[in-house]
Each structure stands twice: as C-alpha cells, then as structure tokens.
Chain A
C-alpha cells in the first residue's frame, strides 16, 4: 500500500488530496477532496496523468518564422518531451489556418497536433 499527496487543480480552492494505492497501483481510496471533480482528478493523476501540449512549429514563407500549435486534447504526461521532438521536426508552409492538422496521431496517441493561429 502506498500513499500519494497532491493538490487538486480542478478549481481555485486547491484541496489537499491523499490517494491510497495498492501494490498493483490501483486506487483504493481518495480523501481530502471536497467535490467529485477532486476524486476524478486524483484518480487520473495517479493512474494516467495527461497534459495539453502547446508549442510552435517552423513556418516557411510566412510573415513570422513560427506558428503556434497545440495537442487537440491532452496526451500522456510522460510523452511531452518525445512529442516535442516530433513537433520540432515539422516545417509548415504559409498560409496556415487555425485548426489545420500539423501532425496526425502524434506518437500513436490518437491525438493530433493542430495549428492555433492563422499565419500568412
């Protein structure tokens, strides 16, 4: 049995949550939260934490040398740096529109990297 302490980020209150995990890393209990969102957050953080990734990619033929991108939805936290490597390999040609898919299904996560700005 292991205990994990964390601060909930679901809202500004920031409850101090304690999660108990068994030996196979299954959540046994969540305490300290004051709402169901805290429970959900704590379980996710312990089992498979995910993060949005935002960055820029190289742009050619545009007014600016880079254009901003994001993951269309959160990706596993441990894959952030590996995903950055993929993002850094890409070069786009202007024009780019908000929502254009820059990398399809990055690292097999099922999540696309999409442009978040128009670039002329």
Chain B
C-alpha cells in the first residue's frame, strides 16, 4: 500500500488548485489521481475564452487557464498519476485505483480531496420521444469531438438548452461551417450569460427560442430532424405549436450533475439540492478527512470560483493533516424563498476566518433584498439589482458575526422585496 498525506481525486482545475494550496500550506506528500491522460479536466476542451477574469484579471481560454496550474503542478513535487481511475474510497481513507502502468493500487491517505467534477444530463433523463438515431449527443461530447478529436459532430444542428455550453457550441459549430438552426430553451429565460447570448447567437443570427423544447426526434439511422414545440407555464408542450426542423444533430445542454458515485459508495452525505456532498466552511464532508471542491460539490458557472473554493478545501485539508482544523459545534446554513441552497451547509463555531456563503437562486429576481437571518434577527441585508439562476452568488459572513451566533443555530439566506 502506498502512503500519502493527501490524495486528490481529479486533476482538473479543482483538484490542481486544492493540491497546490495544500502544498503551499506545507503538506508534503501529495498525489493527484486523474482519469484522463492529461491534467486540466474539462477545460482542455473548452477552447473559448472568458476564463480567469476574476482570478487572473485576464481573459484566457480553458487550456490556458488550466495550463497555468498544470505548470505549477509540474514544477512542484506533487505526484500525478494520469489515466488512473479511482474505484473506491474506504471508511478509513484508503483509495483504490487502477491504471495500465501501476495496475491496481491502494493508497492510504491522511486526507482526501474529492474533485471529480460533474457530468452532463443525458437524453434519457429527458424522455424525449422519437427514434434512437445517431446524432443525438450532449454538447460536451460534441465539444470533445470537434475540439480534441478534430471531427465535425454534425452539419445542421439544433441545440436544446441555452446554458453556456450550449451557447458556446452554437458559435463553435457555426465557425467550423455547420448551420445551427436554433437553440431551444424550456424556461422563459436563458441559463447562459448575456454575453454568450450576444456573442454566440446574435452575432451569427442564430434564433434563441424560449419556452420551447424538443418533443420528438426523427430518423432511423442518422438523425433527420426534430419536432420542437412551445411549452406552457407548467413546461408542458402546447398542442398545435409543433414545428419540424430538419437537422442531422441534436445537442443537449440541459444541466450538469456532480459525479458523486465514489462519494455515495463511501457513505458521504449528499445535499439533495446540489447533489454534492454536504460540507463545512473548509469543505470537509461528514467523512472525517475527506474534503470536496469544484463541480463535484456544486455546479459552478465560473472556473475562477472553482479555484477559490478548491483553495479553501486545500487549506482545510492542510489544517486537518497538521491537526489544526477546528471541529465541534456547528451553525447550519439554509436557503429559503428563492435561494435554492447554500454551500457550505455548516460552519464550525470555532472557525478562524470569515466565510463566504455561495448559493444560486431559483428564478430571475430584480431589485430585491438579500437578507441573512438567524431566527428572526436580521444579520445582514444587501440590495440586489438582479440575480439569475445561471449565476452563482455569494455573501460574506464576518468572523465576528459567526462568533456571536449561538451554537446549533441556523443562518438563513432569503430574498425579500426591496
């Protein structure tokens, strides 16, 4: 059995940032286990720019953003095992993994950081009726074909879902010569950034059809077309609004799901809203010494936030390894009235820093107050011009405030009329 102070599962932006931060904090023996053949994670195929504005103050492409961390990892003494799949995490923090060089390996780690990322919701979860032709794929799969493998995944395309990946792929396919017929969005608003709607759709005259979904796929072998229809306020297709759009490809960009199979098998408690582990302010799960960060914890909109969150987890893991991490009574956090969830889900009363509460809202809010309460007592209240489900928000809770709260209390974040 191999022995490490810290094993990081996943070598994307989350895993690399956590590992680097832990190293900076003095953790000596660190290994990153990455299932792909290179570090970088999903950023390797996100060749568009827009990454790093917050963290580096520059507009980088995905590979460039990842590249900065890959360089630091390569220059450090952090060990990296690529093409390596983690199969199991045991109760006593033994990680079982395999690859085709070392074979099956077991690693005893004092602390573990989970940074496995997320996966895309597939067609099956949507139950779109129709044929099972080829040419129906998630936007991420299509992105890999075009940006990594160098093949066109389609020539005439309809995209379902207006999240950022869908919008980015609309532009990408258009620039490579494909015709993107429409981007359909079930909700009455887009889940993507305004900037992407302007620069990925409007620039190319690609229609964005809101409150619209794909109700049927056509074609026996390769996809030949889709039927789209408008939906009512209950998101049900409205009969009579069906329209047939010929296309050879349907790309799905209909949501991301944190990949927590390993966490579940290890008995780690998950949050039913985020589908990620439930964590404290240092992103430690209920499983002692196991931390989580990045999209495995909650689906992020910006990689810059992933980096920040992962540094918190890396710092927490370092404290844990050094025996400095405070545990004990916790304050719970709770989102209500439009605030869908809060990460972290709990804060140790004995913590040593102010804590940012990250959350997403359930619909578009304009000119509202974001209020933090403990019981009936209002602790903070901030005016917000606009909040949308597509963007992650945060609010800072000062250390003094945390210290002043009674143990076992609940901090509630809520939205009120301004």
| Direct contact between A and B judged by beta carbons closer than 8 A | yes
Question: Which residues in A have some Cβ–Cβ distance to B below 8 Å?
Answer: 6-9, 12-14, 34, 51-56, 58, 64-66, 68, 70, 77, 80-81, 84, 98, 116-118
Q: Is the CB of B175 within 8 A of A55?
A: yes
Do B194 and A68 have beta carbons less than 8 Å apart?
Answer: no
* B64, CB-defined interface residue at 8 Å: yes
Q: How far is the CA of A14 from the CA of B198 in the complex (A)?
A: 11
Q: Which residues of B contact A58 (CB under 8 A)?
A: 150
The CA of A81 and the CA of B205, in the complex, are separated in Å by 14
Given A9-B194, A116-B61, do A56 and B386 touch, yes or no (CB 8 Å)?
no
Known: A58-B150, A66-B147, A68-B61. 19 other contacts (CB 8 A): A9-B193, A9-B199, A14-B386, A52-B49, A53-B175, A54-B47, A56-B150, A68-B47, A70-B47, A70-B49, A80-B175, A80-B203, A81-B175, A84-B175, A98-B63, A98-B64, A116-B63, A117-B64, A117-B67
Residues of chain B in range 51-96 having any CB-CB distance to chain A below 8 Å? 59-61, 63-64, 67
A66 cross-chain contacts in B, Cβ below 8 A: 147-148, 150
Contact A7 B194 (CB under 8 A): yes
B-chain residues with CB within 8 Å of residue A65 when the two chains form the complex:
149-150
Whether, in the assembled complex, B176 has its beta carbon less than 8 Å from a beta carbon of chain A, the answer is yes
Can you show 14 pairs from A to B with CB atoms below 8 A apart?
A: A12-B391, A34-B385, A52-B48, A55-B175, A55-B176, A56-B47, A56-B146, A56-B147, A64-B150, A66-B147, A70-B47, A116-B60, A117-B44, A117-B61
Q: Does chain A have a CB within 8 A of B195?
A: yes
- What is the bound-complex CA distance between A40 and B146, given in angstroms? 35
From the candidates B49, B67, B197, B388, name the one contacting A54 in the complex (CB within 8 A): B49
A12-B386 contact in complex given A7-B194, A7-B198, C-beta closer than 8 Å: yes
**A13→B150 contact, CB < 8 A:** no
Q: Is the CB of B61 within 8 A of A70?
A: yes
- The reply to whether B64 and A9 contact each other, CB–CB distance below 8 Å, is no
Report whether A64 and B148 are in contact in the complex, using a CB–CB cutoff of 8 Å: yes
Chain B residues 187-203 with CB under 8 Å of chain A are 193-195, 197-199, 203
Chain B residues near A81: list those with CB within 8 A: 175
- Cβ-defined contact, A13 with B386, below 8 A: yes
**Which of the four size classes fits the interface of chain B?**
20 to 34
| CA distance in complex: A52, B175 (Å) | 12
- Given B47, B147, B198, B385, which contacts A13 in the complex, CB threshold below 8 Å? B385
Complex contacts, A116 vs chain B, CB 8 Å: 47, 60-61, 63-64, 67
How far does the alpha carbon of A58 sit from the alpha carbon of B149 in the complex, in Å?
11
Q: Which 8 A-B pairs have the closest CB atoms?
A: A9-B195, A117-B63, A68-B47, A66-B150, A65-B150, A14-B194, A116-B61, A52-B49
| CA gap between A80 and B199 in the complex, in Å | 12
- Closest approach, in angstroms, between the C-beta of A20 and any C-beta of chain B? 20
A77 to B171, CA, bound (A): 13
List A contacts of B176 (CB < 8 A).
55, 84
Contacts of B391 in A (CB 8 A): 12
- CB-CB under 8 A from A12, the residues of chain B are 193-194, 386, 388, 391
Please give the distance in Å from B369's CB to the nearest CB on chain A.
Answer: 16
Known A14-B386, A68-B47: A51·B199 in contact at CB below 8 Å: yes
Chain A residue, CB-CB nearest to B40: A117
Which B residues, 350 to 393, have Cβ-Cβ distances below 8 Å to chain A?
A: 385-386, 388, 391
- Nearest to B59 among chain A residues (CB) is A52
Enumerate chain A residues within 8 angstroms of B386, measured Cβ to Cβ.
12-14
CB closest residue in chain B, given A34? B385
- The residue on A at minimum CB distance from B366 is A13
A96–B274 Cα distance when bound, in Å, is: 39
A23→B367 CA distance, assembly (Å): 37
Find chain B residues with CB under 8 A from A54 CB: 47-49, 61
CA gap between A8 and B150 in the complex, in Å: 34
For A117, list chain B residues within 8 Å (CB): 44, 47, 61, 63-64, 67
Q: Whole-angstrom distance between the alpha carbons of A34 and B367 in the complex?
A: 14
Shortest distance from the beta carbon of A38 to any chain B beta carbon, whole Å: 12
B:323-342 near A, CB below 8 Å: none
CB-contact partner of B147 in A6, A34, A68, under 8 A? A68
Q: How far is the CA of A9 from the CA of B47 in the complex (A)?
A: 20
Q: Closest CB-CB distance, B36 to chain A, in whole Å?
A: 12
